[in-house]
Every structure is written in structure tokens, then in C-alpha cells.
Amino acid sequence: MSAFHPARRRTLKLAATSLALPAIAACGGSAEAAAPPRVEAAIARFAALAPATASCLVHAEPGGGGAGAWSAGYHPDRQLFVGSAVKTFILAQFLRDAEAGRGGLGESLPCEVSDTLRSPGSPVFLGLTGKTTYRSALEAMITHSDNTGTDIALAAVGPERVRALIAEAGLVQTRIPDSTRKLFSYLAGAEAGVDLGWDGMARMVNGEDLGLTSRTDVINDKQAMLSTATEMVNWYRQALAGRFFTQPATLREFRRIQAMADAIWMAVPAGAQGFGKGGSIDWESFHCLSFAGQMLAGQVPVTFCLTLNWNGGPLSTERTGEFIRTAADVLGEAAKAARAS
């Protein structure tokens, strides 16, 4: 989860209650088994963090002992801001283009790190200038949620090709920005598609007046990082099964890099292999924390997405601890249920 802390509380990173909750239902149709009660209870505890703007879905494939698939969720079709969780689509499209040899693209080829694509929230590349490999940019994007690495990879494949992959996967409520810098520029008040450049980003980080009116519509149809729990779960079920790659080596590389995300060691239970990506944002009074991916509990794939959006109150950095604790609770109970199936 990368950190970007300009003035006026703006960041792009990625990091038992008596409250009455809306009903939590199994989300897989009559062909699925009933969701384990302990998983449903853990989801209720997670949803209590932001009942009006939380979303969650956990789906377990059929177990080796003959148990059926099951799903449990909380408003899984809510379209919410998921932040850097959408970087999985950029990784996948880059690997697809490299696999196809499109434009001679490849992970081992050099790429330029400079102010041309430098973006806030870049713990790896923020202060570096020179050449590295695309592989290093991809790893920085997923492992440390580095936004410069993200914009390097996104510029190489083009946002429209990533959006075409999202459409191919059947995801109709998922959105990516043209770049992280254009996302920040739009939220800062620029027109959609305008890049304020690294100079503009630096001035924004320093709290300088850009002569623009900052937007508060973080969830928008212009420049955003949006999805639903249902769509993120559908994506990882397809992608980690290899649907979008033609060569086994490409799937292995996708899995290798997705296993490096820092949210995995924070929330996936010990003994379960995890793949995924977290995300977060603080912009004006809007905040987000999200984590989506898949874990292997024994031999059973369990795919998940957990997202919180909220307005006002503490920053995402101040709620990361409770988000991770409740997400780990959900995934821990799901792993136990899957292993027992």
C-alpha cells in the first residue's frame, strides 16, 4: 500500500457490535451449498465498519470431500471505489501483450523512470530517475502499489486495451483511469483526460493553489477506480484459472507477481497461498480501503473482495488496522470452512 500525503488529507495507496445490519445472504443461487454460519458472522463484523458503504463477497469452489461450492456476501453488487485493486487488470494486459509479442513488448525490456510519468504515491520510484525493466515496474505496481510503476505499465499497453480486457471478462461496473496522474488531476479540478504533469502533482502535494476547484465526486464516470465485489471475484476466478492467457508460463508469472502484494501477508491466513491486490484512497472527506484476490485453502480456491468506502472521520491509514483485522477474520473463517469441506 503506497503512501501519498499532500496537504488537505489526500492519499492514494494501496492498505463484536450491536449495530443492526441489513440481511447477509448467500450469493450463488440454489445450486450452491449454504454459506458456513461462522463465515457469515465474520462478514457481519466486517460490514459493521461501514454498513451503508461496505461490500463483500467470498466464494469457495467445491471441496475435495464432495462438498458443494458456497458463497457469502454483503451487498456484493455495490459499485464502490476500490483504489489500486484495479492494478490487477493492468498487470494482466501487460502480460497478454508481452505473450503475444505486441509491439515487441516484454518484461525484460528497459523502460524509462522520469518525470514524464512520475506520480505521487510511489514508494519505489518517486526519487529515482533512469532505466529499469518493465518487470521491476510491474512488481513495484503490485508489491508496493507504486503509482509511477503503474503509469509506466499503463502507458506501455494503453488504457483502452486494459478496458477491452475488462469488457472481455464481462465486467460492466469496473472502471480504470487513463493514468493515476490523470486521476489525481481530475480530482484536483482539471478536465477529464488532462494531465497536470509532475510539476502540478508536486505543487498539489505541497498544498499550493493550482487555480482549480477540487472535486469531491471520487466515484464518477470520468476518471476513477471502481468495481463491485461480484466483479472482482469473477475476475480472479477467471484470471487465476488461466482464461486470459495462452501460455502456462504467462499464468505462472501473473500468479507470481500477484502473490507479492503486501495485503496478502497482512490478511490471508498462515498456510494459505494468496494472490491479490489491495487499494485505498483519502481525498477530501472521502476514504476507501479494499482487498480482492484468491487464496488456496488446502486445495480449495476461495476468491474474495472486501471493500469499505466512507465519508468524513478518520483517514484510511487510521482504519487500516481494523480493516485488516476484520478482513483477516473473514478469510480465516472461510479458509477453515474450505479445508473442512
β-bridge partners, 111: 132
Which pLDDT belongs to residue 301?
98
* Residue 12 DSSP code: E
Q: What is the pLDDT of residues 27-74, one digit of tens each?
A: 444 468 889 999 999 999 999 999 999 999 999 999 876 678 999 999
Confidence of residue 230 (pLDDT cuts 50, 70, 90): very high
CA angle, 249 then 254 then 259, to 5°: 125
The residue behind cell 487510521 is 318
Q: What span, in angstroms and rounded, lies between the C-alpha atoms of 139 and 283?
A: 26
> Residue type for 273, please?
Q
β-bridge partners, 72: 58
Residue 105: CA atoms inside 13 Å, Cβ hemisphere, count? 19
Q: What span, in angstroms and rounded, lies between the C-alpha atoms of 101 and 144?
A: 27
Cell of 136: 521491476
Q: What is the mean pLDDT of the chain?
A: 92
Enter the pTM of the model: 0.92
8 Å CB contact between 179 and 154: yes
Which pLDDT belongs to residue 9?
42
Which pLDDT belongs to residue 16?
25
Which pLDDT belongs to residue 7?
39
CA angle, 266 then 271 then 275, to 5°: 55
Beta strands, E only, 157-256: 226-227
Q: What is the pLDDT of residues 315-327, one digit of tens each?
A: 999 999 999 999 9
Record: fold of 11-339: Beta-lactamase (3.40.710)
Q: Is 130 exposed, middle or buried (0-12, 13-18, 19+ CB in 10 A)?
A: exposed
